[in-house]
Amino acid sequence: MTAFPSPNFGERRGGLRPSLVVIHYTAMASCAEARARLCDPGAEVSAHWLIDRDGRTEQLVDEALRAWHAGAGEWAGQGDVNSRSIGVELQNTGTEPFPEPQIAALERLLLGILDRWDIRPQGVIGHSDMAPARKADPGPRFDWHRLALQGLSVWPAAAAPGVFRADLRRFGYPLADDATLLAAFRRRFRPSATGPQEATDAALAADLAARFGIDGPAVQA
């Protein structure tokens, strides 16, 4: 691992510590281009980690500090995701597959992060999960199932269908219109699905809510 420290960070607010990992793609042509932006004080964006296509992993911000990667959004009914998360950028234009060396490096990195901060697998989310109305990364080509098989994220089985919108809210998704929620859910859990919501969508959402859901105000549809 190499370090190219970014100046774009601050203290985590309110004594918060990381309980989430947010995975992004850079949407840029090269890792060098992405690094330059993430380390540019004028851009006012950053991430804790940047992983190139060949697996080279660079730390840009200390994990104990608040990087500026998530932007507006929420997860599990709480905002200021930057103060509650560690951001990982994967070099990818958004239209290409993620190479094996890059995903293997991500898996190694996640193992360490989850151990260091005692983060549960359901705390590993995509940028599009916490900001579904404005973000699509890491996109439908990202293999969430592979991470789940190693205990680095979660994957649903079918359960008795419930109320799709309420179950996604209980899992952690923010309030959004039905079409936006369906697109975000499918991007992660059913990337090949198209068309209107189906019983399978509701069955998988019900399992996410039952096994990994949160309590309190966030369950409200």
Query: Is the pLDDT assigned to residue 221 strictly greater than 60?
Result: no
Query: Is the pLDDT assigned to residue 8 strictly greater than 90?
Result: yes
Instruction: Name the catalytic one among 89, 100, 107, 198.
Output: 89
Active site residue 58: no
Percent of the chain with pLDDT over 90: 95
Task: Band the pLDDT of 1: cuts 50, 70, 90.
Answer: low
Domain boundaries, the chain: 2-149, 164-219
What mean pLDDT is predicted for residues 185-203?
A: 97
User: Mean pLDDT over all residues of the chain?
Assistant: 94
What mean pLDDT is predicted for residues 204-219?
A: 78
Each residue of 86-112: pLDDT tens digit? 999 999 999 999 999 999 999 999 999
What mean pLDDT is predicted for residues 50-60?
A: 97
Query: Is the pLDDT assigned to residue 76 strictly greater than 50?
Result: yes
What mean pLDDT is predicted for residues 48-67?
A: 97
The model's pTM is 0.95
Omega within 30 of 0 (cis) for the link into 97: no
Provide the CATH topology of domain 2-149. Answer: Lysozyme-like (3.40.80)
Query: Is the pLDDT assigned to residue 146 strictly greater than 90?
Result: yes
